[in-house]
Amino acid sequence: MREVKPMNVPAHLAIIMDGNGRWAKKRSMPRFMGHAEGAKSVRVITEECARLGIKYLTLYAFSTENWKRPEKEVSFLMGLLGRYLDSETETLLKNNVRLFTIGDISKLPAKVSRKLESVKEKTSKNSGLKLVLALNYGSKNEILSAVKKIAEKAASGALKPGKITEETITQNLFTASIPDPDLMIRTSGEFRISNFLLWQLAYTELYITNVLWPDFRKKELLSAIRSYNKRDRRYGGIKSK
């Protein structure tokens, strides 16, 4: 297969990792086995993104709406996240990956949020790929919290309403220090955003594949990047090539 030149990779890749349940169902397995296999894709894709020189990888791992799932599934996902953090810290360190999170992780089980804080701290000196896990993340909730922070500054007199700019909003989102994604992949063929990065995706290239997340590995990632390489990003302007 033709390799993708490192200079053509997106600086920020965001992924809606969907289809774990359907992957398991197709095999007459319980849903949790799809999640376990999906965790392997997380490992493979993170390592590959680090190798390709991608700067930011944002993975939608648990949405503010995913609490609606049966308690058993939610607790399996939380346990899986805890085990992932235990087993992957060494690999993250070895690959120079720094961990970040977006979303309100204080609502996750205390053991898991403590582990997250600890891995973020342990990897804080790493200068390679920035892995951003979206956990208990919802874009509407993120925008709401930004509006509240801005309103408080305005009410206290620290900020004049007339001085509020798009940049003010950007700087008050969970993603304040992170550039907008260049490419967003959604697996499992669903044509929706599901409350993911609504503000940040304004000019992101979208790639939707029928491949289910547990089957999304190196080959599928390279296909997505090849498709991205063919896009003409006009940002409302005129054709550039």
- Distance from C-alpha of 185 to C-alpha of 196, rounded to nearest angstrom: 11
Half-sphere exposure in the Cβ direction for 81 (13 Å, CA): 27
Q: Which of 57, 42, 46, 51 shows the shortest CA–CA distance to 3? A: 51
When asked if residue 17 is in the footprint of ligand IPE (CB under 6 A), the reply is yes
- Find the shortest distance in angstroms from Cβ 157 to ligand IPE: 39
Binding residue (CB under 6 A) for ligand IPE from 4, 32, 66, 169: 66
Q: Which stretch binds ligand IPE (CB under 6 A): 42-50, 57-65, 120-128, 169-177?
A: 57-65
Q: x-or-dash pattern for Mg ion, window 12-51, by CB under 5 A?
A: ------x---------------------------------
Residue-level length of the chain: 241
Q: What tokens appear for 78 in the block?
A: 């939380």
CB distance 112 to 82 below 8 Å: yes
Nearer to ligand IPE, 66 or 168 (CB): 66
- Using CB under 6 A, which residues numbered 178 to 237 contact ligand IPE? 188, 190, 192, 194, 213
Q: What is the DSSP letter of 67?
A: G
- Tell me if residue 18 is catalytic: yes
Name the one residue in this structure whose structure tokens are 């390709």. 52
When asked if residue 63 is in the footprint of ligand IPE (CB under 6 A), the reply is yes
Q: x-or-dash pattern for ligand IPE, window 136-165, by CB under 6 A?
A: ------------------------------
| Residues carrying an active site annotation | 18, 66
Instruction: Give the interface with ligand IPE as residue ranges (CB under 6 A).
Output: 16-22, 60-63, 66, 77, 188, 190, 192, 194, 213
